[in-house]
Chains A and B, each alone.
Chain A
Amino acid sequence: SQQGEEDPQALSIQEGENATMNCSYKTSINNLQWYRQNSGRGLVHLILIRSNEREKHSGRLRVTLDTSKKSSSLLITASRAADTASYFCATDEGYNFNKFYFGSGTKLNVKP
């Protein structure tokens, strides 16, 4: 399937540091999305980036997309303890933009 893969699986940093997590996928896409999940909760949408976009910003979040490498990265700048969560990327199938597949996520721990 198209399921994306996040890397690393787990990341532990100090408050104030930047956190970078990556997502790789297999086939062409129409868009890629990033989500956050706090423990025991539902997912919250962070950013959607379209296949013709290379970079997108939202507050302390920066997402890049490299369609030639079939990869994306999510950068969280100046991390806070409240950013502690799991982060997932989701991709469609390109020819079917109605089906979104999620990776297994990166678990981020921001230590105060």
Chain B
Amino acid sequence: NAGVTQTPKFQVLKTGQSMTLQCAQDMNHEYMSWYRQDPGMGLRLIHYSVGAGITDQGEVPNGYNVSRSTTEDFPLRLLSAAPSQTSVYFCASRRANYGYTFGSGTRLTVV
């Protein structure tokens, strides 16, 4: 039982490049979310999903796309990377009325 797996753990992008952060969970959780955490700050919600085929925006969705074609996978796409997107990205999943299980994060630097 791996929990929530995020790949890659570290990534450096050049401004304007695109990439996909991968997130997979093996707990059959309905709900999945992406958060970003900037240094010394809390987490801000980017996008979330309540089940396969259903996604919605969080607080800071601009510049990011998501899709949820299966219960297990919830990839986050950066469309055109900007230095302001330098952050640590966390994927999390949960079932109804329970807390989140978080992945270990992807540390992204945009230069």
Contacts and interface: CB of A to CB of B under 8 A. Distances in A.
Contacts of A48: 97-99
B45 to A, nearest CB: 6
Interface stretch (A11-19, A60-68, A70-78, A102-110): A102-110
| Interface of chain A: mostly helix, strand, loop or mixed | strand
Interface residues of A, number: 24
Interface residues of B, number: 25
Interface in A48-86: 48, 50
Contacts of B105: 41-42
A45 B50 contact: no
Interface in A1-56: 1, 3, 31, 33, 35, 41-48, 50
B59 to A, nearest CB: 6
A41 B44 CA distance: 16
A35 B92 CA distance: 13
